[in-house]
Structure 1
Amino acid sequence: MQSTLTVLVALVCVAMAQVSIPPGYKERYPNYYPWAKNARHPRDVTWDKPVGDGKVFGTLGSTDQGLFGKAGYKETIFNDARGKLDAEAYGSRVLGRTGDSNHFGGKLDWANDNAKAALDISKQIHGKTTVEASGAGVWKLDKNTQLSAGGGVSHTGSGKPDVNVKAQIEHKF
């Protein structure tokens, strides 16, 4: 009888411990599910600060798989009759159970009224380099006809790159 009572009290204590939440938690985080396995609110930190002609951005955070951080600098090089050209440089670091990784890269995005193009180059430290380039455009041939065309190239490490091309002519009767 005494062992049954001990087991019953232990089960009640375990059940109470699993459904209890820290004091003040509901007021501080009203939209967070209170009966989740971990009663800790996600603590990601994000910032976006103007510096010079551009801005510095970043994120620090964690998931069940590990810790991560990403930071970079973004700037508009020009925005006039030639179109708009944005440049970005970034880096990231991930610490995880299965290993760590570091990435860095840069990106250029250009667009005007008829066309757009992008180039993204990234490198994993002690890994492969990835290059992606794409472009697309729409041109009016006459008042009822327009030509749209686009394509891209993607290359990771060694081997042949992936190339895609698409074109279309539309005519409204």
Structure 2
Amino acid sequence: MFSTQIVLAFAVIVCAYAQVSLPPGYKEKYPDTYKFSKKVRYPRDVSWDTQVGHGKVFGTLGNDETSLYGKAGYKGDIFNDHRGVLKGEAYGSRVLGATGDTSHLGGKLDWSNAAKTADAALHVNKQFGGATSVSGSASKVWNLDKNTHLSAGGAISQDNFGHGRPDYSVGAKFQHDW
């Protein structure tokens, strides 16, 4: 009987001095959550990035306030030599939400020459049950002499590929440093 009273007294003292710690900003971000919970869990994502061949396989699984999502893909160098650097990426994503689900597939190619004076890019994204968007850009710099440079470039994009007219832009710049 006496030992039970000592154990109960010790338990009461331990509970009285125990402090519950919350991460900074948790009270403000989650005001309706039980504030005396000892195990406060941060919303978190699970990501990975693994070297495979000349590239990387990557992915993310996570959630936010309204949905669950996942994205995975592969990115790597197609070539990296005297022709320049050509990088490619292919990816897919899936979002599950209360207002609906979406799936995307996409890819991109990015090229720059060995002298870093020219580059080009092509990006394609397809939404399942929806439109395909395509965008491309290119630019080049010519060094006319030590202090004079001419650069030009352009871009074209279309949110609903094959329907309507694409958006395009062209620009050029002449620069001479005195």
TM-score by length of 1: 0.79
Does the 8 Å CA contact 1:47/1:58 hold for their aligned counterparts? yes
Partner Cα separation in structure 2 for residue 110 and residue 77 of structure 1: 10
Q: How many residues align?
A: 148
Quote how far apart the aligned CAs of 1:33 are.
2.4
% identical equivalent positions: 54
Q: Partners of 1:57 and 1:159 in 2: how far apart?
A: 35
Q: Which residue of 2 aligns with 1:165?
A: 170
Alignment RMSD, CA only? 1.9
Checking the alignment, whether the CA contact within 8 Å between 1:111 and 1:117 is kept in structure 2 is: yes
| Aligned residue among 153, 156, 163 for 2:159 | 156
Moved over 3 A (4+): 23-26
Counterparts of 1:57-72 in structure 2, within 5 Å, are: 57-72=58-73
User: What is the aligned partner in structure 1 of residue 148 from structure 2?
Assistant: 145
Q: Which amino acid aligns with 1:143?
A: K
* Cα deviations by residue, 1:13-33 (Å, 9 ceiling, x for unpaired): xxxxxxxxxx9974xxx7542
Give the conservation status (yes or no) of the 8 Å contact 1:50–1:56: yes
Taking the TM superposition and a 5 Å limit, the aligned residue runs for 1:58-137 are 58-112=59-113, 113-137=116-140
Instruction: Quote the offset at 1:40 in angstroms.
Output: 3.2
Contact map agreement 1:67 1:96 (CA 8 A) in 2: yes
The residue type equivalent to 1:140 in the other structure is N
1:90 positional shift? 0.2
Contact 1:56 1:71 in 2 (8 A): yes
CA distance in 1, matches of 2:45, 2:20: 18
* TM-score, normalised with respect to structure 2: 0.77
Task: Give 2:149's aligned amino acid.
Answer: Q
How far apart are 1:156 and its partner, in Å?
A: 1.5
Q: CA deviation at 1:145?
A: 1.2
Structure 2's unaligned 5+ residue stretches are: 1-17, 34-39
| Larger-Rg structure | 2
